[in-house]
Amino acid sequence: MTTHTLLQLALRSAAVGYVSLLILFPLAAIAHQSFIGGIDHFIEDISTPQASSALVLTLEAAFLTTIINAIFGTLSAIVLVRYEFPGRWFLNALVDLPFAIPTLVTGLMIAAIYGPTTILGMWLQEGNISLLYAKPGIVLAMLFVTMPFTIRSLQPVLMELEREQEEAAFSLGASPWTTFWKVTVPSVLPGLLTGVFLTFVRALGEFGSIVIVAGNIPMKTQVASVYVYGEIESYNPQGATSVSVFILLISFLVLVLLERLTRPPGERMPRWFRWSKRPLPMIHPSEIG
Amino acid sequence: MKIEVRGLTKQFGSVQAVSDVSFTVKEGELLGLLGPSGSGKTTVLRLIAGLETPSGGDIYIDGKRVNDLSVQDRNIGFVFQHYALFKHLTVFENIAFGLKIKKWKPAEIEPRVAELLSLMSLDALEQRYPHQLSGGQRQRVAIARSLAPRPSVLLLDEPFGAVDAKVRQELREWLIRLHDRLNVTSLFVTHDQEEAMEVSGRIIVFSKGKLEQIGSPAEVYEEPATEFVARFIGAMNILEGQVLNGIVKIGSLKFPAPNISDHVHVKVGFRPYYVKVAEDPHRYRQPATLRHIYFLGVAYRLEIETEEGLILRSRMNKEEFRQYRLEVGQPVSFAVTHFRFLPQEGISFPSSASSQLFDAGPLTP
């Protein structure tokens, strides 16, 4: 064995070891713990009224958050990449702030602006809209912490997008609207999907800001992560791990799907799943220059 | 369909990219827009396509003024230097894109795409994605895509600029064959004079946003209308001097200028192959020293220095080169057999002043 292959082996083991130590082993541990009483126990744990209500609420809120941030994140990314305006650099710098702020502080910030003693809060109260300790508050908190994902994953692909592709579409008779949907969106789709899926899984796990903004009202504002926290506090680690593992499973499936969908076109679906019966053409490496 | 451009002008901020350009591309012609980078040739092409709005002047396609038509409605085919293929679509879908936009029926799309695939020798590749193709294949797909909806004119912006030399040569031959077959009025931009000469029926030479000359490859080569064209197309020796008693004397070289008045400053130009060089220092009238030998593949280029320190370039074919045993640093003799006075602003020369035989014969019989 040469030094070179030895080095390669060492590097590979280091990478595998690092990922295993940090992610795989803890995952295995919690999965083991949740299934220790068998699959029946797991299903029982996640289908108690309180647990299932928390899970449904979490999925609902995360879904809504994902849609809103996909739309506004896309628009913001386009504006930040394509248009010059005073203060653009400042806005661009602000985008990362949700990553930097502790989520508890995020919760405090939202409470401070929409609280019942503020002008905005009073105005909302007059209109009989409850934001804090209600579902909209949860969505608001999730929106805040996941805002950077769509924008940051779209920005580079938008910058890379050649204006020429759009011009080519124009020259073939496509209107700007058609060009946007048939050329621009598909070209930036991998970036968009990354942003959207990360938003979703991040929203599923949010805890700090939600516990402050929406509180911990079972069956009403209690999301999955808050439920897990409550179960740990009340010495029910079994219930806590089962709900955690369920959320983890969903996240894992979403991320596996994302990995597939962001591959180059033509390689996205597993071979057995491709619609076309035509075999993929064999490509000799020398043909690609 | 012919293209006509009248007084076309384009201003980008304070930069005049195109100034007062007028020309006509004849029906079915393949015309090359040639110029160094930044000379405004691409802007002219984009103006004709409708991808830019002119600051002044008119554009006619097939006799119809198209200034107010959007790029979508001009029915042009545009080929970009970097292909601009739709990366998320297969070769087939790329070529069919324009047909779908124009609401062709699927039953018509299929045979039209198949026709173009075979025309461009892309038959086996229809299900591939652009990232699975080579540069030459990508550009052929781009050309097929632009031709599919039967455009009235085809515009190509440096179409072979992004591929290596060998593929570029292949693509040139492709374009010529394709044009012979389809006969679609085509305008293509290039900065490569050799490419322009080889591919186009006529050439327009551009410099700094202005049209310098329009003519056949032979015309722009043999009779450059301006000093810029003379310098840009092919290699040329250019010397400056003053007319005195009907003669321009530059060092020991004498150029007769019978029709030019005294004291006029002129530029004398002659191609390297009009400079004859011999190993024998007494074969021709002028003595010089050989400074460099360049091997060009098809011939040799010699750089000689006259006694007055003028550096001249000469071209010598291989057979002649093999007869002599030329070495750098050795004395040689030379003669200039043809020359012309280069056009200069404000001075027009009678045509008889150019291309005269001069000093051609051997010194001693």
pLDDT per position as a tens digit, A168-209 = 999 999 999 999 999 988 888 889 999 999 999 999 999 999
What is d(CA B195, CA A21) in angstroms, rounded to the nearest whole number?
A: 60
Same domain, B226 and B240: no
Interchain contact, B86 vs A165, CB within 8 Å? yes
What is d(CA B213, CA B222) in angstroms, rounded to the nearest whole number?
A: 12
Three-point CA angle B223, B229, B234, nearest 5°: 85
Confidence of residue B341 (pLDDT cuts 50, 70, 90): confident
**Per-residue model confidence (pLDDT) at position B253:** 87
Give contacts of B71 with chain A, Cβ < 8 Å. 167, 170-171
Q: Averaged over B331-350, what is the pLDDT?
A: 77
A117 by DSSP, 3-state: which? coil
Q: How many domains does chain A have?
A: 1
Interchain contact, B71 vs A186, CB within 8 Å? no
Span B139-158, pLDDT tens digits: 999 999 999 999 999 999 99
Q: Which two tokens stand for residue B46?
A: 């984009």
The percent of residues above 70 in pLDDT, for chain B, comes to 94
Instruction: Note the ipTM here.
Output: 0.82
Confidence of residue B364 (pLDDT cuts 50, 70, 90): very low
What is d(CA A276, CA A260) in angstroms, rounded to the nearest whole number?
A: 17
CB A64 within 8 A of CB A139: yes
Span A227-254, pLDDT tens digits: 999 999 999 888 899 999 999 999 999 9
Does residue B33 lie within any of the structural domains?
yes
Does residue B365 lie within any of the structural domains?
no
Interchain contact, B72 vs A170, CB within 8 Å? yes
Interchain contact, A172 vs B146, CB within 8 Å? yes
Same domain, B302 and B337: yes
Which structural domain, as residue segments, surrounds residue A234? 40-262
**Averaged confidence pLDDT in chain B:** 87
Does residue A122 lie within any of the structural domains?
yes
Domain end, chosen from B209, B230, B251, is at B230
Give contacts of A288 with chain B, Cβ < 8 Å. 131-134
The C-alpha of B89 sits at a distance from chain A's nearest C-alpha, in angstroms, of 8
What is d(CA A250, CA A216) in angstroms, rounded to the nearest whole number?
A: 23
Q: Averaged over B336-357, what is the pLDDT?
A: 63
What is d(CA B66, CA B152) in angstroms, rounded to the nearest whole number?
A: 13
Same domain, B83 and B151: yes
CB A187 within 8 A of CB A161: yes
**Per-residue model confidence (pLDDT) at position B362:** 39
The percent of residues above 90 in pLDDT, for chain A, comes to 51
Write the CATH number for B324: 2.40.50.140
Interchain contact, A167 vs B146, CB within 8 Å? no
Task: Kindly tell me the burial class for residue A123, based on how many C-beta atoms sit within 10 Å of its own C-beta (0-12, 13-18, 19 or more).
Answer: exposed
Residues forming a β-bridge with B336: B275
CB B96 within 8 A of CB B109: yes
Interchain contact, A172 vs B145, CB within 8 Å? yes
Same domain, B265 and B213: no
Question: Which among B85, B125, B131 has CB closest to A264?
Answer: B131
Does residue A284 lie within any of the structural domains?
no
What is d(CA A282, CA B106) in angstroms, rounded to the nearest whole number?
A: 28
Query: Strand order in B331-336's β-sheet?
Result: B275-278, B331-336, B286-295, B299-306, B311-317
Q: Which element (helix H / strand E) includes B7? A: strand B3-12
Give contacts of A284 with chain B, Cβ < 8 Å. none
Interchain contact, B87 vs A265, CB within 8 Å? yes
CB B238 within 8 A of CB B269: yes
Does residue A83 lie within any of the structural domains?
yes
> A186 — contact with chain B (CB < 8 Å)?
yes
Does residue A11 lie within any of the structural domains?
no
The C-alpha of B328 sits at a distance from chain A's nearest C-alpha, in angstroms, of 41
Q: How many residue pairs bridge chain A and chain B with CB atoms within 8 Å of each other? A: 94
Domain end, chosen from B230, B252, B281, is at B230
What is d(CA B1, CA A134) in angstroms, rounded to the nearest whole number?
A: 68
Confidence of residue B247 (pLDDT cuts 50, 70, 90): confident
Does residue A30 lie within any of the structural domains?
no
Residue type at B27?
A: E
pTM: 0.76
What is d(CA B210, CA A127) in angstroms, rounded to the nearest whole number?
A: 67
Confidence of residue A160 (pLDDT cuts 50, 70, 90): confident
Domain end, chosen from B203, B230, B257, is at B230
B252 by DSSP, 3-state: which? coil
Residue type at B54?
A: P
Q: How many domains does chain B have?
A: 2
Q: Please name the residue of chain A whose CA is at the shortest distance from the CA of residue B49.
A: A171
Where would I find the H helices in A161-216?
A: 163-171, 176-179, 185-205, 208-213
What is d(CA B320, CA B277) in angstroms, rounded to the nearest whole number?
A: 10
Which structural domain, as residue segments, surrounds residue B297? 236-353
> A213 — contact with chain B (CB < 8 Å)?
no
Does residue A4 lie within any of the structural domains?
no
Give contacts of B150 with chain A, Cβ < 8 Å. none
> A173 — contact with chain B (CB < 8 Å)?
yes
